[in-house]
Amino acid sequence: MVVIINLLGPTINVFCDSQFTDFEKESNKYNYIIVNDLWDFIRSPGKNILSHHNFFTWTIPTFILFGLDYKLTHFYINEVEVVIRNAREEGYIVSLDDSLIFNCLKALHILNAVYLDNCKLYRFTHMASEAIIDSYFVSQSIKMLTGRARPILSDEGPNSWLHPTLDPMGKHTSFPSLHATYFFSLSTIIGKSINNEIMGDVIGIVSYFSVVGHNHWISDMWIGYLLGKSIGNYVWNKNKHIDFRDKWWLHFTFRQDILSSYPSICILKFF
């Protein structure tokens, strides 16, 4: 059974009561749904996000990258992305489209539900989807509030902030990088699942830099990396003792209409 729910904004309430936030309520089939995560992030970001990295990681490198934003970003755009684009044209790099990743995850979940029935694989597909959805809402919410100018879509420089917008693809939606947030949240789940977090980071780096045209400052990418790693760790720690075999599965996807595509959540359950 598949039910499509359109996402109307970061405050959406999907089939659950946001008061269910205690991790020990593992018997509740809906306890792991996205709204609980967002409430945890809002209620206690220091505990649920920032605590997954030490003080040094969140501060010193961040200040340095913000200070060198202009030079590092233009070097990346003019040198690094050119190399990546040429490698793609030569066939050395395969571009990872968002829809391709989401559909592969969906196919893996269906394969497991219909044929394999592997508990560990259920845990991976559920956590991966939850991490991706968390990353989307957290990143897009911060974007719309901070209103930082993008390096290519505007000429306002890296210090142009506080232009709140409801346009998810507008010129004031640079901070943080959505792709970095969701790629590294997903790669963190992969690393935890295979018990090799270094390999997970390598997968995240290769995946992220296979996408040309990020239109972000270097600091946007860095904060996206930190957020993604933190969200991945949060989701893993929250759900690592849950048996997902009888859970509803939330899947992130894009629906296409006449004008453009827009994000949706697919609720999937096999009976």
Q: Which two tokens stand for residue 140?
A: 């897009």
pLDDT in tens, the chain (271 residues): 233 223 323 322 232 332 333 333 444 444 455 667 888 888 888 888 888 888 788 888 999 999 999 999 989 988 888 888 888 888 777 777 787 888 888 889 889 888 888 888 989 998 999 999 899 889 989 998 999 999 876 678 888 898 888 887 788 889 999 999 999 999 999 999 998 989 999 999 988 888 877 789 999 999 999 999 999 999 998 888 887 877 777 777 765 554 445 566 666 666 5
At 238, which amino acid appears?
K
Q: How far apart are CA 16 and CA 165, in angstroms?
A: 28
| Interstrand relation of 2-6 and 261-268 (parallel, antiparallel or unpaired) | antiparallel
> What confidence score (pLDDT) does residue 158 get?
86
Q: How far apart are CA 32 and CA 134, in angstroms?
A: 11
Q: How far apart are CA 175 and CA 161, in angstroms?
A: 9
